[in-house]
Structures are given as C-alpha cells and as structure tokens.
Structure 1
C-alpha cells in the first residue's frame, strides 16, 4: 500500500523531501530543520538517559548543527502522526588514523559542530538515536542508509564514528575493554550498539578511553569505520 504523497520521484511528506522510507511508507527520513530542534532534544533525552548533562545534545546544539552542516542532519517522521521519532547528526572532517582517540566533545566542538570542515573527506557520525517507543522497526537502518547515500553523493571516503559499547558496563568485571571488543567482533558476545554496527559493514579501528561520560560503556568509545566502495580520488 502506498502512503499518499510518497509515491514517485520527488516524493514528499508534509512539504518535506523524503530521502528514504520504510517499505510500507509508515516512516520517512527527511533533512532536519531548525523548527525540529525541541523534538530532536526530546528524542536525545529519551535515548541517552545515562549521558552527562554536558554531553547531551539540546535544542541549542541542534540549531548549531543546522548552521554548520544542514545536509548532515536527518530526522525520521512517523507518517501516521507526523511525530519526529528518530534522528542522526553528522559532520565532515579529515581523519588522522594514527591519532584517532579524541574525546567526543573535542571531536564535535563541544557538540556544536564548530569542528565541521566543509572539505573534510570523511563523514563523522556524532549521534544516532531512535526513541525507545519505536525501536525494533528498522528506523536506524533507514538512517544509516540515508547517511551512506549522502556519503556517495558527496564522494566522501566513508563514515567514521565513536560507537558506544553499551554492554561493557555489565561485563567490565569479567574482562578488559580490549577483550570485550574482540569477543564482540568474533561473535562470542553481543553488544546492543557495536554488534549492530558490525553487521552494517563497519570495522573496528581502535578503542577510545574517556570518549564520553556514560557508565553503561564505562566511558569508552570504539572507533569504527565504513569505507565508501564508490569513492573516487
């Protein structure tokens, strides 16, 4: 069944260009706008209750993201209600793979994206969140697909991010972070974040101590990389 307003080239929903959609048309990806900032903050707080107040993205931060790199700010809308239920935030940068271990706030300019480089060759995944009420419905997959489409469109080298190994907090008494990550890579353990990203074709490059303040991952990040197979020099 086709949802009205979504069929054909140049489809739209509520006057907004649709970048991706679930097969049944229930959820669509659009570019976030400035008037979405309060709803974006609401999704952020629902998704990351353990993040420190200094690291949570608020409406002020989302407005700054829009100012620096609007193309990299995506939102998922529920076509049945018009509600904003998921989002992702990205910026462009150049990556020194020999010195990748930076704290999240340094990498993102205190979460304001002042570090965005319009000529950066990599897309940096600062954030992705799906409201807990609608998880398990393929919304993160929609957002990742739209991000990869953006990478191809801009001819970027690929996508990098600091994944939060959110299962490590419960396993930290058993093994060090390096052992935990290797067990996840080998499929011996499942991490609610890292395992999903590995299935999407990302590879682990290294571990970032003190990446952010979140007890669920013991403040660690895992630097992950997806390389654009269509990239041309």
Structure 2
C-alpha cells in the first residue's frame, strides 16, 4: 500500500521517534554507536535535505528514516571506522561541497517491515543525488548474516552473497538496488552479528561521468 506512506524531510519533533526506531532496528549495536535524539537534531541542522523520514498517513506515525551526509571519497583508502565517518553520529563533518552522499543510517521499524519502506528511502536518496549532481552513494553495509557462517572468512561470505549463493538480510537487498561491493572494512563498528565488519558499497549516479 505505497499510497499509505510518504517520504518527507525529517523534522525536530520526530527526533525521539527516530531514536526509538534506531534502537528497535539495531539491538546488537553497541550502546555508544546508537543514534540518539540529539544526533538526529544535529543531522537536521547540518544537512536538512539529506534527512528523510517515512510517514504512515493512516496513523501519523514515523515508520522509517535515513540519514546522509556529503563527503569526498578516496577509493584507494576506503577503510575507516563508522564513528569517524559520521563524526560520532553528529554528522558535523558534512562537507557541503562533497561529491558523494554517504549513508550514515537507514532503519525501518520492525512493525513496518514488508511494506517497501526501504525502497522509498533509497529512491529518495537517489533522487537527492541526481538533484544535487553528485557522483553517487557510498555506505558501509552491515553483513548482518555473517555470524551464521562461522566457517567462512568474511571475504568468502561476501563473495557468496555477491554470487547469490547466500542471502544476507542487508547486503543482498542493497546489491539488488544496483550497489556494488568495493571492499571489506575490518573493525567498522561494534556489532557481533556482522563480526564488526562493514562492506563498502557504491552506487554510481548514471547521470554523472565518474
């Protein structure tokens, strides 16, 4: 029922609900890495057009959200820690002249999964990239299914996901949206479900020469 949901720019009155969604979506994430209301307020201040929320028009409730910032990317030296990339969740390192959009967060409340809300958010992100003339979107994907395969190295696991031999609840979805794996990031964040790894993924804006 896509007509039931609408993507809007997030606003200060949503901050506490956004923090609730974050906590519900990432129960394994370290406490210090979870976004709180103060972080969402900072996002809206430093880069308001990069902050999206999905409203349930029937209830007026916020059901999902995404947070992004602009930056320049050195693809030869892509390894980094998540908290460094997002300036400890405040996004105050946002570069207004940055050529790439960096995905700091995307979260759909568990009660709203299965309605295509993440698709709405990714479409909004890609529309923003086209509107701003950016080169594309990058993010550190969380391979949330990796802990189920202790017999595999992270490289083997990601290769199997890319080949379609395994399905990862996060990475597989992003690959279907046109993202490509650029590399693997050790010690990306504190989440045992993904072995603390991140997978650096890239979506290229087809309207801009790379």
2:120 to 142, 151, 161: 142
Matched, 1:83 2:61: yes
Q: CA deviation at 1:209?
A: 0.3
What residue is the counterpart of 1:231 in the other structure?
Answer: 208
What residue is the counterpart of 1:178 in the other structure?
Answer: 155
Aligned-partner Cα distance in 1 for 2:133–2:208: 6
Aligned-partner Cα distance in 2 for 1:181–1:50: 20
SS at match of 2:33: coil
Q: CA deviation at 1:53?
A: 1.0
Partners of 1:155 and 1:232 within 8 A in 2: no
What residue is the counterpart of 1:133 in the other structure?
Answer: 111
Q: CA deviation at 1:46?
A: 0.6
1:23-68 deviations in Å (ceiling 9; x for gaps) = 4x10110000111100100111111111111100000110111111
What residue is the counterpart of 1:205 in the other structure?
Answer: 182
- Structure 2 gap segments, 5+ residues each: none
Q: TM-score, normalised by structure 1?
A: 0.89
What residue is the counterpart of 1:124 in the other structure?
Answer: 102
Aligned-partner Cα distance in 2 for 1:160–1:107: 11
SS at match of 2:32: coil
What residue is the counterpart of 1:57 in the other structure?
Answer: 35
- Higher-RCO chain (CA-CA 8 Å, sequence separation at least 6): 2
Partners of 1:76 and 1:84 within 8 A in 2: yes
SS at match of 1:99: coil
Aligned residues between the structures:
210
Matched, 1:187 2:151: no
Q: CA deviation at 1:119?
A: 0.1
Question: Would you identify which runs of 4 or more consecutive aligned residues in structure 1 move more than 4 Å?
Answer: none
Aligned-partner Cα distance in 2 for 1:129–1:155: 25
SS at match of 1:54: helix
What residue is the counterpart of 1:48 in the other structure?
Answer: 26
